[in-house]
Amino acid sequence: MLRGFIILDFGSQYTQIIARRLRDIGFYSEIVPHDMSMDQIKQKNPYGLILSGGPQSVYDQNSLSRDVKALLEVAPLMGICYGFQLIIHQLGGKIEPANHREYGKQMVRWKKPFRGVSLNQSVWMSHGDVATKIPEQLKVIAESENHPAVIQGEKILGVQFHPEVFHTDQGEELFLEFAEMCAAKKTWNSGSMLVEAENFVKTQVGASEKVLCALSGGVDSTVVATLLHKILKPGQLQCLFVDTGLLRDQEAQEVMKAYETLGLPVIKADARKLFLEQLSGVSDPEKKRKLIGKLFIDTFDSEVKKLKQNFTWLAQGTLYPDVIESVSLHGSSVTIKSHHNVGGLPEKMNLKVLEPVRFLFKDEVRNLGQSLGLPESFIQRHPFPGPGLAIRILGEISESKIQILQKADRIYIDFLKEKNLYHKIWQAFCVLLPVQTVGVQGDSRTYDNALVLRAVTSRDGMTADWYEFEMKDLKEVSSRITNQVKGINRVVYDVTSKPPATIEWE
């Protein structure tokens, strides 16, 4: 186990981004429940401890808490947002509801130069409580317009804003300051990621146990399958690709060819008819996701019986953004939406879940794929949701709607590649709305579907900004789609960031 930083999770949606930023810099980091025992923390021998943000108020009777003085006996302490307030509260200061809450972009003024950071720093705030009294052993080294923003003391660094998010300018410098305070060493890179993933699999899977790997056609599951193929003995791994009929145009054929090139032991299950029949009439997005999860398992169960092999594990390419949006994993974070591959496995399959990249972000998985020798063309594909086009067709699903969306999506993605825009964008896709509008095509009145184009830039999928196309490009791609796809007479572009929206519409 690598030595690094321990992050105590108090329920912030941004907790994993703290780990991510530290990893970007080169420091191994691990998220643990806020109430992990002191003995367990000491066993990990961390360089430093970080208290995350969270949705509660430290002065509430039932709020999550830790003994700050006891933690300081183990290692230096950094508090972010709620963690900042918890340190102040426990050391004799005072936290109260703010008269003026601070959300979104705010300015912080440093009292003296700090690691080359601008004396007027633009940061991301998200809190309704503020520090009104600072403990004697701490000093305020930066302030927002109304309140203390950064505190420092012996073995303590506290930050009221969120240095982990990319909306904060030079937020990395706060983590570097804390790392120096802890005398931490950089050990996290692609090679160490691969070693950790390999060790995880080896400690989980027995020498004679068999693994069934669920392949979706995307980067994540392909990296997992390639990793398992590299580690496990011949005959231990069987990959299964389910063609749901909800993939992009010609995607099922293309990914099967790619799997064959990679030498993966894979079979394809044609479940197009099953998925289309079962999803008929279903319009609620949560019901869609959960039904698709059930249908995947039903298909796997059926295929396992055909294979007549005794599998112990079901391997999946689950990533952390899937997990944190689906379940409160370590703290009291809020569920945003369910993901079809998160939340457990029906008992009837009697399989244990193996998720080697569950705590990695998309670009870390891509780096892992590079270490495993996957071709660049496959690694750099845009993310595609497990439920496929089902969550990009708002409302009820039909075969005709799937075909319309597949054609529009093909035109859109081909256009991005033609204009050398594809690799500048983190994710791009089309959404078919349950809305029909009046149009004029070929001198005739039409009453057809409206289509949304979505394109975002991001590092990890937890936050994202919409991509600013040149107007001529939007005009051209809109014209191509409305001219070439029968059933669409209106195209609009989504200019919403995450937050407040999610990247996908459902």
User: Could you give the residue numbers annotated as active site?
Assistant: 81, 162, 164
**225-254 burial by CB neighbour count: b if 16+ within 10 A, else e?**
bbbbbebbeeebbbbbbbbbbbbbbebbee
Cβ–Cβ under 8 Å, residues 34 and 330? yes
Q: Which helix (H) or strand (E) holds 367?
A: helix 362-371
Cβ–Cβ under 8 Å, residues 463 and 165? yes
Q: Running DSSP on this structure, what letter comes out for residue 289?
A: H
- Which residues make Cβ contacts (< 8 Å) with residue 353, sequence separation at least 6? 313, 314, 316, 344, 345
Give the tokens for residue 505. Answer: 């519409």
- Which residues make Cβ contacts (< 8 Å) with residue 39, sequence separation at least 6? none
Q: How far apart are CA 136 and CA 284, in angstroms?
A: 54
Cα 57 from chain centroid (whole Å): 26
Q: How far apart are CA 14 and CA 54, in angstroms?
A: 9
Give the tokens for residue 359. Answer: 């705590």
Query: How many other C-beta atoms can be found within 10 angstroms of the C-beta atom of residue 500?
Result: 6
Q: Give the relative orientation of helices 362-371 and 190-204 as an angle to the nearest 10 degrees.
A: 90
Give the tokens for residue 165. Answer: 């998010």
Q: How far apart are CA 317 and CA 214, in angstroms?
A: 8
Beta strands of 81-119 (E only): which ranges? 94-110
Query: How many other C-beta atoms can be found within 10 angstroms of the C-beta atom of residue 180?
Result: 10
